[in-house]
Chain A
Amino acid sequence: MSDRLVQILEGNTFVVSDDCGDIEASRTDPTGLFSFDTRFLSRWVLTVNGQRLTALSTDDLQYFQTRFFLVPGTGTVYVDSTLSVIRQREVSDGFREQLRVLNHQNDPVDLTIRIDAGSDFADLFEVKDALKKKGSYQAQVVAGKSLVLGYRRETYARETWISATAPAAVDETGLSFRVTVPPHGEWSTELDVVVSQGAFDGAKEAPIGISGQGRRQVRGDMARGLEKWLQRAPGVECDWEAVERIYRRCMTDLAALRFSTLTMPDRALPAAGLPWFMTIFGRDSIFTSLQALPFTAELASTTLHALAERQGTRIDDFRDEDPGRILHEMRYGEMTAFEERPHSPYYGNADATALYVVLLDEYERWTGDTKLVRDLEHAARAALNWIDEYADLQGNGYVSYQRRNPKTGLENQCWKDSWDSISYKNGDLPGFPRATCELQGYAYDAKVRGARLARQVWKDQALAERLEKEAADLKRRFNRDFWVPDGEYFAVALDGDGRQVDSLTSNIGHLLWSGIVEKSKARAVARHLLGPRLFSGWGVRTLAEGEARYNPIGYHVGTVWPFDNSFIAWGLRKYGFKKEAARVAEGILGAAQFFDGCLPEAFGGYPRQMTKYPVQYPTACSPQAWSTGAPLLLLRAILGMEPVGDNLVVDPALPISVGWLELLDIPGRWGRIDAFGRGHIDTSRQYSSRG
Chain B
Amino acid sequence: MLDYDFMRHAFAAAGIVAVLAGLVGYFLVLRGQAFAGHALSHVGFAGATGAVLLGVSPLAGMLGVTVLGGVLMGALGEKLVQRDIAIGVILTMSLGLGLLFLHFFTAYATAATSLLFGDVLGVDLPTIYALAGLAALTLAVLGFISRPLLFASLNPELAEAKGVNLRALGLVFLGLVGLTTAASAQIVGVLLVFALMVGPAATAQRLTVRIAPGLALAAGLALTEAWSGIALSYFTDWPASFWIASLSGGVYLVSLAI
Tell whether A and B belong to one assembly: no
